[in-house]
Structure 1
Amino acid sequence: MLFLVDAQLPPSLVEALSGAGCAAVHVADIDLVTATDQQIWDEAVSRSAVLVTKDRDFSLLRAAKSDGPVILWIRVGNTDNRSLIAKILRSLPEITAAVERGETVIELVGLQAVGRQQRSV
């Protein structure tokens, strides 16, 4: 499983995910730090990556489309990078399970990962 980490999350998250045995890349490492949401979306699709973001727009975009990347929407509020990364790593088994179940948007709220299937409106 590959994680594409969005710009508002620290590059050190990539290192932490790699240390936990996951493939990960930060948008800054592939010259997408100032890219549009569509460019980041397209990159996640082309890499078959889980898009890790704090940006609500990606979860809304995913809900409006019949296909696209899995979105890991980080909703833990303001916290320091060390605590944020620790929360993500603690939730990694739940996140992985949600991806494997085919959930399209996974919300990391506080300390808990909550997945959901995409619903057509």
Structure 2
Amino acid sequence: MKLIVDMNLTPRWVGLLVDAGIEARHWSTLGANNAPDSEIMAYARANDYVVLTHDLDFSAILAATHGDKPSVVQIRADDVSPNVIGLQVIAALKQMVSELESGALLTVDPNRTRVRLLPLQIATDG
């Protein structure tokens, strides 16, 4: 599994992930700092990356496009620094490897971790 760390997260995430045995690159080393989320998503899809972000726009893109890739890991916490929530994120990544490789939206917050398989399905009353 390879991760792109979004611009809204510190590049320090890369070191933590690499130390945990996870290949990772910060978007600032791959593309323009002001690139739209859609460009990051397209790059991740074309190059088989998972996107690590604090931005809800990525899940909105997946929902709107019914995309099955790339997988997105969103951190939902007030403090998204790697020294605060990093170990929880790494544990979730390692636990959900097969889901992320197949296509998933993984949400990690201080209280729980949730995974939804892609493409996202809109809930309907039945």
- Pick which of 15-24 and 61-70 moved more: 61-70
Match of 2:84 in 1: 83
Match of 2:30 in 1: 30
Match of 2:93 in 1: 92
CA–CA separation in structure 2 for the residues paired with 1:87 and 1:62: 24
1:116/1:98 Cα in 2 relative to 1: closer, same or farther (>3 Å)? same
Q: CA RMSD in A?
A: 1.9
Match of 1:62 in 2: 62
Alignment check: 8 A CA contact 1:87 1:111 kept: no
- Name the TM-score, length of structure 2 as normaliser: 0.82
CA–CA separation in structure 2 for the residues paired with 1:61 and 1:97: 22
Alignment check: 8 A CA contact 1:62 1:104 kept: no
- Name the TM-score, length of structure 1 as normaliser: 0.85
Match of 1:108 in 2: 108
CA–CA separation in structure 2 for the residues paired with 1:9 and 1:97: 24
Structure 1 runs (4+) deviating above 6 angstroms are none
- Pick which of 91-100 and 43-52 moved more: 91-100
In structure 1, the gaps of 5 or more residues are none
SS at match of 1:78: coil
In structure 2, the gaps of 5 or more residues are none
SS at match of 1:16: helix
Match of 1:50 in 2: 50
SS at match of 2:16: helix
Match of 1:16 in 2: 16
1:79/1:42 Cα in 2 relative to 1: closer, same or farther (>3 Å)? closer
Match of 2:121 in 1: 119
Q: CA deviation at 1:89?
A: 2.2
Alignment length (residue pairs): 120
Alignment check: 8 A CA contact 2:50 2:71 kept: yes
CA–CA separation in structure 1 for the residues paired with 2:81 and 2:66: 35
CA–CA separation in structure 2 for the residues paired with 1:3 and 1:31: 14
